[in-house]
Structure 1
Amino acid sequence: MKIEHIISTMNRTEYSFLYQMNLQTNGVVVNQTDKLDNKEYILDNGCKIKTISVLERGLSRSRNRLLEEATGEICIVGDDDVEYMPGYLEIISNAYEKYPDADIIVFQFTHDKNRETRSRYKKDKRYHLWNISKVASVEITFKKKSIDVAGICFNNKIGLGTKFPSGEENAFLADALRAGLKIYHIPKTICYAVEAHTIKDAPGLKKYLITKGAAYYCIYKKLFGLYALAFILLKKKKMLSEISIRQAMNYMRKGKQEYRRMNDVSKYNNTNI
């Protein structure tokens, strides 16, 4: 079973971070920068890392380029700020042997190297549309052939580097489910990642909810209203205590409307090229 890393990064002039990631297998890196360049690095442990520098911007665009370049049977989605835990390759290969029908397997990451801090489920579990919204990109692995056959890719209109800077990995999983692919969760930690900062100020909260609205529309489509309300009620006490449920819902609807309007403009422009 050939396992391969696909890693997104930006503005790199050198690649020493690859050693900090503790990579134990080959990989492809897309570096979004201002100069076109292709190189191959061989790490001390013999792993070959192909690096591709591109001019385009946006995390989803980076990951779509990685989908084009990847040659592994199993791909591990990665960012440049994670560190893989000892034995992670064995965890991944064992999971795909245990579930040969799996097209995508989601693992866990930790914010603390000494304990597992992302344990959503205690046992192996199937993912469905209603429980994919909390998955982080660095937890995702997939069979390259399954993704290719289904024609799945990351949505270029959401994710870092766009107007709606999150949710692209969850929309990717939603599209995979709609295409009939099987997604499993294995409660084992494969990597360490620095904890993201929570935006608590009012302007940041507004942008956060607008972004969530766009992402939730991509994920849930006609069920947007139901899942947006469930999200708000779930977060009300911890994150959304400063605003009303109605205001939070209005911000999420605004994200949905702005995303739809942006798509309508894109379709119109494409029609008139």
Structure 2
Amino acid sequence: MRVQVLASVMNEEPRELIGRMRLASDAVIINQCDRLGAEEIEHEGYLIKFYSFPDRGVGRSRNEAIMRADGDICLFSDADIVYEPGYAEAVAEEFRRNHDADMILFNVTVNEMRKTYHITERKRVHWYNCGRYGAVSFAVRRSSLLSSGVMFSLLFGGGAKYSNGEDSLFLKEFMDRGYSVYTAPVTIARETEGESSWFEGYSRKFFQDRGVLYRYLYGRLYGIMALRFLLAHRDKLCREVPLKQAYRWMCSAAKEGKRSESLEG
């Protein structure tokens, strides 16, 4: 069972990136930069395919990686991820023990301010709690991914109109099409400290973008789920913006999501 990392990065030099991420598996890396190019690098017995494109957008680059993947298990990643020793075997072992899983979500250690989840047990993921997981926690059987036809949205995420949420939409659409997603209490990587490409604090835009996302994720339940989100994280989210104001921004922006006919991508 071959694990292959699919990474979306920007303006990176391949060998420096490979070492920094501590890659110990095959990988497909999509580098958003100002040139076109492709090269294959042998690294400690693994094959790293490195593609450079001038196109921007995390959803677009993740889709490019999917189309070039050939491993059994696809593990999504970013340039600020550093893998733990033995991560590929740990991922493969979880799929061996759970034959029903089309996708498994893993722990990735992040700064406490950015932490949205911590997995402590193996259980199935459902529509109402899929919004907390980032793409770097996703490992998916490539056969299931291809048969599902699911790709990342071009409307949400870094470089898109709405600043984040492409991972949540991807996960929910995958489940909506009948594929099973489970969690595993296994830490496979950590996120390094750095400046986010999209996060600029808990501003009006943050709450408005989240409101549109919740409309797509939860339909008519967006108001209830928005309130649930704010109450669960009010100590972090509402230090500068009152909860009632944040809720109004989320709900008013959700109407924009209701008027939109479809997602792009």
Normalised to the residue count of structure 1, the TM-score between the two structures is: 0.87
Distance 1:57 1:107 in 2: 27
Quickly say closer, same or farther: Cα 1:39–1:180, change in 2 above 3 A. same
> What residue number does 1:17 align with?
17
When structure 1 is superposed on structure 2, of 220-229 and 164-173 the one drifting more is 220-229
Structure 1 match to 2:160: 162
Shift of 1:118: 7.6
List aligned pairs for 1:26-65, cutoff 5 A.
Answer: 26-43=26-43, 45-65=44-64
Asked if the contact 1:126–1:184 (Cα under 8 Å) also holds between the matched residues in 2, the reply is yes
Alignment identity in percent?
30
CA distance in 2 between counterparts of 1:265 and 1:104 reads 25
Alignment partner, residue 138 of structure 1 = 136
The 3 A distance-change label for structure 1 pair 200 and 150 is closer
Report the alpha carbon displacement of residue 181 of structure 1 after superposing the two structures with TM: 0.7
Using the alignment, how far apart are the partners of 2:262 and 2:129 within structure 1?
A: 31
Report if aligned partners of 1:59, 1:160 keep a CA contact under 8 Å in 2.
Answer: yes
- The superposition leaves residues 207-251 of structure 1 with CA deviations (integer Å, 9 ceiling, x where unpaired) of 111121122222212321111111111122332144333321221
Q: CA deviation at 1:195?
A: 4.9
Question: Where does residue 78 of structure 2 map in the other structure?
Answer: 79
SS of aligned partner of 1:20: helix
Cα distance, 1:119 vs structure 2: 6.3
- For 1:251 and 1:93, locate their aligned partners in 2 and report how far apart those are by CA, in whole Å: 42
The 3-state SS of whatever aligns with 2:189 is strand
Are the structure 2 counterparts of residues 196 and 127 from structure 1 closer, same or farther at C-alpha, using a change threshold of 3 Å?
A: farther
Deviation string, structure 1 residues 140-192 (Cα, Å, up to 9, x no partner)? 10011111111111111000011211111111111011111100000110001
The Cα of 1:68 is off from its aligned counterpart by: 0.7
By how many angstroms is 1:7 displaced? 0.6
| C-alpha distance in 2 between matches for 1:102 and 1:259 | 31
Q: Is the 8 A contact 1:8 1:62 kept in 2?
A: yes
Q: Which amino acid aligns with 1:28?
A: V
1:270: which partner in 2?
A: none
Aligned to 1:220: 218
**1:171 and 2:169 aligned:** yes
Task: Quote the offset at 1:72 in angstroms.
Answer: 0.8
Matched, 1:238 2:225: no
- Give the alignment's Cα RMSD to 1 decimal: 2.3
2:99 is aligned to: 100
Unaligned runs of 5+ in 2: none
Shift of 1:52: 1.2
Amino acid in the other structure paired with 1:34: D
Corresponding letter in the other structure for 2:73? I
* Aligned positions, number: 259
Q: Gapped runs of 5+ residues in structure 1?
A: 268-273
**SS in structure 2 of the partner of residue 126 of structure 1:** coil
Compute the TM-score of the two structures, normalised by the length of structure 2: 0.89
| Separation in structure 1 between the aligned mates of residue 262 and residue 96 of structure 2, nearest angstrom | 45
